[in-house]
Amino acid sequence: MSLFILLNFIYIFDLKNQKERSGFLLLLTNGTVITHDEDNRVIKNGAVLIEREEIKALGESELLKSKYPEAEVKDVQGKIIMPGMINTHMHIYSTFARGMDLKTEQPPRHFLEILEKMWWRVDSSLKADDIYYSALYAFLTGLKQGVTSVFDHHASYGQVSYSLDLVAKAVEELGIRADLCYEISDRNGPEQSQAAVKESKNFLKKIREKNSNYLNSRIGLHASFTLEDETLAEVSELADDLDSSFHIHVAEGRTDLEDSRLRGYNGAVKRLDQYNIWRPGTIAVHGVHLQEGELEILRDNDCYLINNPESNMGNAVGAAPLKEALAKGLKVGLGTDGYTTDMFESIKFANLMLKHQNSDPRPGWTEIPQMVFKTNAKLASQSFGTQLGVLKEGAAADIIVVDYSPPTEINSDNTYAHILFGINGGMVETTIVNGKILMENREVQVVDDQKITHETREQADDFWSRF
């Protein structure tokens, strides 16, 4: 029985049914706690007390141990305790593309050909089982690297209906948080476009009924250059009806700009503005080829601009005007765009790219931590309705433990330098989401890691034979 059929009988199970830890207290002790709070407080020999889904207290280890003797103690042995990482732009559907033969005589020469020869072919070949395993493997890899919340932008024109349910099934099995959408596009004709609109609408309604703090959805759009005016008008109305914002690529390559000019607009942001795509909470991804006045449109409509430096470099599309965007007061976040699942890796690239594009070694020290630790946290907190990206009383218990023994002191003024130069996702040892331990001492607790890897490989072989 395929997963697609299975899902018609079993709708994604609810985490609430899992082991309820009513009144249960877990105390992480003996760590260096990086809080990412307003004062960027660092607590040495610190502890974090978790009660059910929330952080109940932070402080010195001995103090909290004596105050809460009933708590179960997990001694992290001097490691780093910090908030889980948040990825604000991801494509789980890219999993099977790794190392794949594109079966094309000429490798892609530019961004549009990368889409045509690779990504659009991948997504058009994805069937139900491919979608499920792509999601499960990608989210699991992220979880192991300390990523606790993901904003995914999904495309699978080989199987549109119920595709978001399959992605959600993977999310729920792992216990992470995810904001999901389907990328509506007219690139495969009106029938497929309508199927994508329907999938977005159906899934969004289900999510609204579910009203959880770990799954959310919004309307996904590919990009201006693959969307016709009628579709934009339709999704705008749908967003009004369902009170949704959007998640869309904008001005990533020059194609988006040139297409907008052919349609009579000097820029994709300006064209999309005519259809009220820019509304509070809308996630605009890339923004490399923005024109005069377009940063202001995004800012004035309370949107987020998400930077994906590795992807931009890999596709050779250019660099987004981050300094200008931040100077104008636009909310700028950081994502991986499917290039990696490791947010620590993206931090390193964001730092290098910002310095390189400005021919100036000074920028990055305030801009990148603002993006990855403040703005990503703000977007995730807004999406899931709970305080994320910070360790403080009352915030959600999304916490990671990192096996990092620094050669120099960590203090409130230099946590970012330690993260930038000293930490990568492979050093994450324990991942906790919503108070639940998903990985402990590098052992995934919620699923059989090796079994999933094995099954994903088998599914990938099958996918490659069909590609």
- What is the binding site for Zn ion (CB under 5 A)? 337
Is 257 or 399 the residue whose CB approaches Zn ion more closely?
257
Is 30 or 255 the residue whose CB approaches Zn ion more closely?
255
Could you give phi then psi for residue 173, rounded to 5 degrees?
-65, -35
Q: Rounded to the nearest whole angstrom, what is the least distance from the CB of residue 109 to Zn ion in the complex?
A: 20
- Report the C-alpha gap between 172 and 190 in whole angstroms: 32
Q: Rounded to the nearest whole angstrom, what is the least distance from the CB of residue 304 to Zn ion in the complex?
A: 14
Residues 84/148, Cβ–Cβ less than 8 Å: yes
Could you give phi then psi for residue 69, rounded to 5 degrees?
-65, -20
**Cβ-closest position to Zn ion:** 337
Both tokens of 301, joined, read 């409509």
Is 376 or 430 the residue whose CB approaches Zn ion more closely?
376
Q: Rounded to the nearest whole angstrom, what is the least distance from the CB of residue 252 to Zn ion in the complex?
A: 8
Strand spans (E) along 207-337? 215-217, 219-223, 246-250, 283-286, 304-307, 331-334
Q: Rounded to the nearest whole angstrom, what is the least distance from the CB of residue 225 to Zn ion in the complex?
A: 14
Residues 384/214, Cβ–Cβ less than 8 Å: yes
Q: What pairs with residue 430 in β-bridges? A: 401
- Report the C-alpha gap between 289 and 318 in whole angstroms: 8
Is 49 or 285 the residue whose CB approaches Zn ion more closely?
285
Q: Are strands 80-83 and 399-402 parallel, antiparallel or unpaired?
A: antiparallel
Is 144 or 247 the residue whose CB approaches Zn ion more closely?
247
- Report the C-alpha gap between 342 and 248 in whole angstroms: 21
| Count of all residues that appear for the chain in the document | 467
Is 310 or 337 the residue whose CB approaches Zn ion more closely?
337
* DSSP annotation of 396: B
Q: Rounded to the nearest whole angstrom, what is the least distance from the CB of residue 339 to Zn ion in the complex?
A: 9
Is 26 or 115 the residue whose CB approaches Zn ion more closely?
115
Q: Rounded to the nearest whole angstrom, what is the least distance from the CB of residue 276 to Zn ion in the complex?
A: 22
Contacts of 202 (CB under 8 A, 6+ apart): none
Could you give phi then psi for residue 302, rounded to 5 degrees?
60, 40
Q: Rounded to the nearest whole angstrom, what is the least distance from the CB of residue 91 to Zn ion in the complex?
A: 5
